[in-house]
Structure 1
Amino acid sequence: MALNLCPSLRHQFVPPLHSNRPIRPQKLSVHSRISHPIKSHKLVTDVKEKLEKYHPILPVGKNGRDDEDMIRWFLKDRKFSVEDTVSKLAKAIKWRQEFGVSELSEESVRSVAETGKGFVHDFLDVHGRPVLIVVASKHFPAKQNPIEDEKLCVFLVEKALSRLPAGKEDILGIFDLRGFGAKNTDLKFITFVFDVFYSYYPRRLGQVLFVDAPFIFKPIWQLAKPLLKSYSSLVRFCSVKDLKKEYFIESTVPTIFRD
């Protein structure tokens, strides 16, 4: 890849390869530590002050070092540790700036988006989550620009998150693996996708569906799984039938999965 991959994910739990049970998001047992509005305000203020002191060149405004909503989200992710939040948030803001996230647009990713390899579904799933779909058979790492692929990935994540309904916090990712072959294999990109969620969009990926994975994908998953570490627990292997029955109603099933 042309871009350096993000730091390795830290957690160690890895589930079995096959699981037909839906993944339920875990609740933070430490939520009470920030439930009091005065304590919450103090933690946010502490993070803002440390970011200003130690990272003054970071931008301000939306998704900047003084964005209180963003600070609260990263505090929750870091179990309300001010020091850990400052460290992770500073890296995330710096990455957004260097990657040019705010400059991404429909026009800037149009050429790679037209391949149909990735898009945000027009409807929410039955749990009220925006849906990001990747069509693996249309991904050709040997022929396509990896930087453009990464830009499309981040643009679609931003687009999906912009469609979060009130009270919802995460999105559903679907990898359509029908027709997947050796020429579509790209471990670096898979790692990039999951690592971006861990480092820069923590707790925003609620579940990932690997749909109709062919036999050739199994050894690739065995190689990728240790790289993803705890995020591999979000993955569920399922069929098109399972997807249609459990995640959508008849009128909202993505077109590519309709008979």
Structure 2
Amino acid sequence: MLVMEVKEKLEKEYYDLPVGENGRDDEDMILWYLKDRRFSVEEAIAKLTKAIKWRQEFGVADLSEDTVKSIAKTGKAYVHDFLDVNDRPVLIVVASKHLPDVHDPCDNEKLCVFLIEKALSKLPAGQEQILGIVDLRGFGTKNADLSYLTFLFDVFYYYYPKRLGEVLFVEAPFVFQPIWQLTKPLLKSYASMVKFCSTETVRKEYFTEETLPISFRD
């Protein structure tokens, strides 16, 4: 079995990596990365070791409501209380509240990773992906942050592969278009997951009346 082969190689060649949940002996994680790399053992090991090292260096296990409390208070991003109609946890970003000149980039990154972890912890049985919603109403040049947008997609590509099912860019204003043109080539395959849509689409196609986020209600 390929999972065991990866596990044994990691134990032999990367014995200093942590073990346990999200560690080098986590069979579910190993299988996920094997699937992501089309069952190439070498490619899975390369991506997996990079992800485990990143989790350790970033301090993912130490993130909590308390550690991100001050930046979370801005309301710039949160995990919605309800799943969408496809049973996916929902991560909402309010772009107009993202102020790169005011907020510490490290705090932004910690909040981002904390919320991804929180959304994934809400995955129901049989569901493997989450929905991202970027609310672009009120977005202006002061909210533009190419490096943060790139960080966000890099995190999903390298460390949470195939966890992002779809990203909705809601009510994108004209000023957002040049930023998107700059970002799009950096997003690799994730660019095809982005769907530009209206608040009406969010209401009608992704939620029921009971589960619709408050900010998208009439």
TM-score, structure 1 as length reference = 0.84
2: CA distance, partners of 1:110 / 1:216:
31
Structure 2 equivalent of residue 150 of structure 1? 109
1: CA distance, partners of 2:13 / 2:141:
46
1: CA distance, partners of 2:209 / 2:198:
16
Structure 2 equivalent of residue 80 of structure 1? 39
Structure 2 counterpart of 1:126, one-letter code: V
Structure 2 equivalent of residue 201 of structure 1? 160
Gaps spanning 5+ residues in structure 1: where?
A: 1-41
Structure 2 equivalent of residue 36 of structure 1? none
1: CA distance, partners of 2:84 / 2:130:
9
Structure 2 equivalent of residue 192 of structure 1? 151
Quote the offset at 1:227 in angstroms.
0.8
Structure 2 equivalent of residue 62 of structure 1? 21
1:108 is matched with which residue: 61, 67, 88?
Answer: 67
Quote the offset at 1:177 in angstroms.
0.1
2: CA distance, partners of 1:90 / 1:142:
34
Structure 2 equivalent of residue 123 of structure 1? 82
Quote the offset at 1:164 in angstroms.
0.2
The question of 1:241 aligning with 2:200 is answered: yes
**Deviation digits for residues 140-164 of structure 1 (CA, Å, limit 9, x no counterpart):** 0011100000000000000000000
Quote the offset at 1:54 in angstroms.
1.5
Structure 1 counterpart of 2:11, one-letter code: E
Quote the offset at 1:55 in angstroms.
1.0
SS in 1 for 2:65: coil
2: CA distance, partners of 1:194 / 1:90:
19
2: CA distance, partners of 1:169 / 1:188:
27
After TM superposition, the structure 1 = structure 2 runs for residues 14-53 of structure 1, keeping only pairs within 5 Å, are 42-53=1-12
Structure 2 equivalent of residue 231 of structure 1? 190
2: CA distance, partners of 1:223 / 1:189:
13
Quote the offset at 1:120 in angstroms.
0.1
Q: Which runs of 4+ in 1 moved over 3 A?
A: none
2:179 is matched with which residue: 200, 208, 220?
Answer: 220
Quote the offset at 1:56 in angstroms.
1.1
Two-structure CA RMSD over aligned residues (Å): 0.5
Structure 2 counterpart of 1:194, one-letter code: F
**Deviation digits for residues 167-198 of structure 1 (CA, Å, limit 9, x no counterpart):** 00000000000000000000000010011001
Gaps spanning 5+ residues in structure 2: where?
A: none
Quote the offset at 1:229 in angstroms.
1.9
SS in 2 for 1:173: strand
1:140 is matched with which residue: 99, 111, 119?
Answer: 99
Quote the offset at 1:211 in angstroms.
0.2
Structure 2 equivalent of residue 163 of structure 1? 122
TM-score, structure 2 as length reference = 0.99
2: CA distance, partners of 1:50 / 1:188:
35
242-251 or 48-57, which deviates more:
48-57
2: CA distance, partners of 1:224 / 1:79:
27
